[in-house]
Amino acid sequence: MSSPSVAAARPVHLVSETNWGAISAQLPPFSRAYAESAGFKPTSARLLLLPGKDGSISAALFGIGADEGLGESPFLTGKLATDLPAGPWRIEGKLADPTLCYLGFLLGQYRFERFKMAAREAVSLLAPEGADTPRAQLIASAICAGRDLINRPANDLTTEALAFAAHELAGRFRANIREIVGPDLLTANFPLVHAVGAAAAHPPRLVDLTWGDPKAMKVTLVGKGVVFDTGGLNLKPDSSMLLMKKDMGGAATALAAAEMIMGLNLPVRLRVLLPIVENAVSGPAFRPGDIFRSRAGITVEIGNTDAEGRLILCDALSYADEEKPDLLIDFATLTGAARVALGPDLPPYYTEDEHLAQRIEAAGRAAHDPVWRLPLWKPYRSMLDSKVAGINNVSSGGFAGSITAALFLKDFVKNSKSYAHFDMYGWTPSARPGRPEGGEPQVARLVVELVEGLKKDRTTKS
């Protein structure tokens, strides 16, 4: 993501309803006449390329409507990465939030081209004056790496390959990492991670990455890493299986957030736990009606093998909880019920910590990474009761699926000072500015803002 030189870069004017008159007056007469004849209006995302005297493109007008702060469409400048002709550009004039403006463009540059043979000509943008360029570039790099992981098909992103991505990240930041694979999961007391992944050709595993000062605030991120979900013996219909390569989106989010935290050198002790499996069908597949003793000692009846994500998470959460972290967060593409309730863009989150909830809300607004709080409604816990075990992995009815999944996970967190669960979609169904269609590590940017905010709180109190 290199920046062009100022001399080589053609200007882009961000035109609002307020400043259009002033910008128009400053344009060369022939450019102003061309804009008028083309009927240019500063409506949101309207782009007009202005010719120079020699007929070549000399500048561009980009409409932002009445939203000069880009509050309603924060990554609107991502459209410049797709709509401008190839070559270097720069944004003309002062901006309300130059860092956000630049980040939107960088996020809009993303394409999943791992399997594309033909290279494309790139649009580049000079970082606007006043932008925190290193931060924007780091965030964009981490988000795009997360997108790449989610977009990779399951024949390419195997359990080994996802673990390798974590090893690669650890190597870049000199983090410690270890991995427990296959039958060793039973020896190490991760029975549910092993059970869910036992039927696959690529063995299940648990990745444990640690970084930072052991004496600092302990932040632990747990990401669901189901590289493909057939549903197991409760087999999904073909239409429901099409996007199941994205079922490791929680792991991709945890890695993206970790890359930003380490890249910004935040003063925390970071831990990332990734239970990684493929939910496949073969002789060793776990079955409806099976009962397993979890790492926490709670026996779990399998009501449905397609509710596998919460099974691998509960072992990982129990393991994380043993260390009593200051902040424990899990990310998972967990339930369709969350999408029915809030759609693909607004992941629900769950926490009993009011201060943490306030911080999450503030971080979501600051990072333009929206979420919505849903309740850990304790009366619904009885829906998970089992007649033969400590808990069933699915509820007895079709109601409140996202809430009951969150309540299931909450049973395995006892010692952490603060805990939150995010039920994310991990996918952009149709392209929007700065959000290409495909994988999206939702809430990763929020988490970085959250950790920074919590650190400020602790510093202020001390």
Say which of 147, 310, 339, 445 is annotated catalytic.
Answer: 310
Q: Is 132 left (phi over 0), alpha (psi -120 to 50) or beta?
A: beta
Among residues 216, 454, 198, the alpha carbon closest in space to that of 351 is found at 454
| Residue with tokens 């640690």, as numbered in its chain | 210
* CA distance readout (Å), 402 to 126, 242, 331, 341: 43, 21, 13, 9
Q: Phi and psi of 438, rounded to 5°?
A: 130, -160
Among residues 418, 394, 174, the alpha carbon closest in space to that of 302 is found at 394
Say which of 236, 373, 381, 432 is annotated catalytic.
Answer: 236
C-alpha triplet 98, 252, 341: angle, nearest 5°: 85
Q: Are 185 and 275 in contact (CB under 8 A)?
A: no
Length of the chain: 462
Helix (H) or strand (E) holding 270: strand 268-279
Q: Is 310 among the catalytic positions?
A: yes
Q: Is 41 among the catalytic positions?
A: no
Give the distance, in angstroms, between the CA of residue 130 and the centroid of all CA atoms in the same chain: 27
Give the distance, in angstroms, between the CA of residue 434 and the centroid of all CA atoms in the same chain: 14
C-alpha triplet 347, 352, 353: angle, nearest 5°: 100
Among residues 212, 123, 228, 117, the alpha carbon closest in space to that of 173 is found at 212
- Catalytic annotation, residues: 236, 310
